């Protein structure tokens, strides 16, 4: 589509990635490799209905809608400014028929969304507990990085509510909170099925983990081949 000056705001920029054109705020938050590898890790089947919790500017929804045969993906984002970016990104990439952007609080999923309507829920949530690390002075970036608007527990509880029985939940998270993630999944009957440890290169410790869990699944977790982002 042709882009006019009103479609992209003065405080935004236009990037390209994977054949997509992506509007992002100049002062962030920007999408990162976390979202890209989660979109690749998530197992999307033909005709699936998918929810993207904490969608930001919609990069995961864009990648899944453009590269899989899903039926519909609902992108849930609490910050209206970012939800607006996600809507325009869907329009820009001719994916509005597959992507529905909803400005909502994922913590209220049990009140605002019918139960058991999705085959897959994906999330790239804030990793840091409030009080750990420096809080970014940019409120939008702070919400993306710290558990200000939602906690891991909120994400897992909402995923359980939204998923059909034996539906799948896929998340990218930090390895230093892996115990919290697995114990939280068990708390909400999201049984871990696939775990992949991600390293930035061969010289440093792991900085990401990918996990898939199944609602009311049986215990049977597979550790997948290690991913090294920069193999040199």
Whether 128 maps to a domain, the answer reads yes
Residue 204 is assigned to a structural domain of this protein: yes
Residue 25 lies in a domain: no
- Summarize pLDDT for 123-164 with one digit per residue, the tens: 999 875 544 455 444 445 444 453 446 899 999 999 999 999
Give phi and psi for 221, each to the nearest 5.
Answer: -100, 130
18-30: per-residue pLDDT in tens?
Answer: 999 999 998 878 8
Residue 203 lies in a domain: yes
Is 23 inside a domain boundary?
no
Tokens representing 149 are: 């608007």
User: Which helix (DSSP H) or strand (DSSP E) does residue 74 occupy?
Assistant: strand 72-77
Q: Domain residues for 48?
A: 32-230
pLDDT tens readout for residues 47-72: 999 999 999 999 999 999 999 999 99
- What distance in Å separates the CA atoms of residue 117 and residue 68, rounded to the nearest whole number? 19
Whole-number Cα distances in Å, 28 to 41, 64, 145, 156, 202: 24, 22, 11, 26, 29
The CATH code of the domain that includes 59 is: 3.40.50.150
Residue 93 covered by a domain: yes
Any domain includes 121: yes
Q: For 179-199, what is each residue's pLDDT tens digit?
A: 999 999 999 999 999 999 999
Inside any domain, residue 98: yes
- Report the number of distinct structural domains present in the chain: 1
């Amino acid at each position: 589509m042709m882009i006019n000056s009103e479609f992209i705001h003065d405080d935004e920029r236009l990037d390209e990635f994977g054949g997509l054109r992506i509007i992002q705020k100049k002062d962030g938050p920007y999408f990162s490799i976390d979202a890209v590898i989660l979109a690749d890790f998530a197992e999307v089947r033909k005709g699936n209905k998918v929810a993207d919790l904490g969608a930001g500017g919609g990069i995961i929804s864009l990648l899944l809608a453009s590269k899989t045969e899903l039926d519909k993906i609902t992108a849930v984002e609490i910050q209206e400014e970012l939800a607006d970016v996600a809507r325009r990104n869907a329009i820009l990439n001719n994916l509005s028929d597959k992507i529905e952007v909803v400005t909502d609080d994922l913590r209220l999923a049990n009140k605002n969304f019918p139960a058991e309507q999705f085959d897959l829920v994906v999330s790239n949530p804030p990793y840091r507990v409030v009080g750990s690390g420096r809080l970014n002075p940019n409120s939008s970036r702070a919400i993306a990085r710290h558990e200000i608007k939602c906690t891991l527990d909120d994400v897992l509880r909402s995923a359980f509510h939204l998923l059909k029985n034996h539906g799948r939940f896929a998340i990218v998270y930090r390895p230093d909170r892996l115990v919290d993630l697995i114990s939280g999944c068990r708390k909400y009957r999201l049984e871990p099925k696939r775990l992949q440890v991600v390293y930035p290169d061969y010289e440093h410790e792991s900085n990401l983990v990918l996990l898939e869990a199944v609602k009311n699944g049986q215990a049977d977790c597979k550790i997948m081949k290690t991913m090294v982002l920069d193999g040199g």
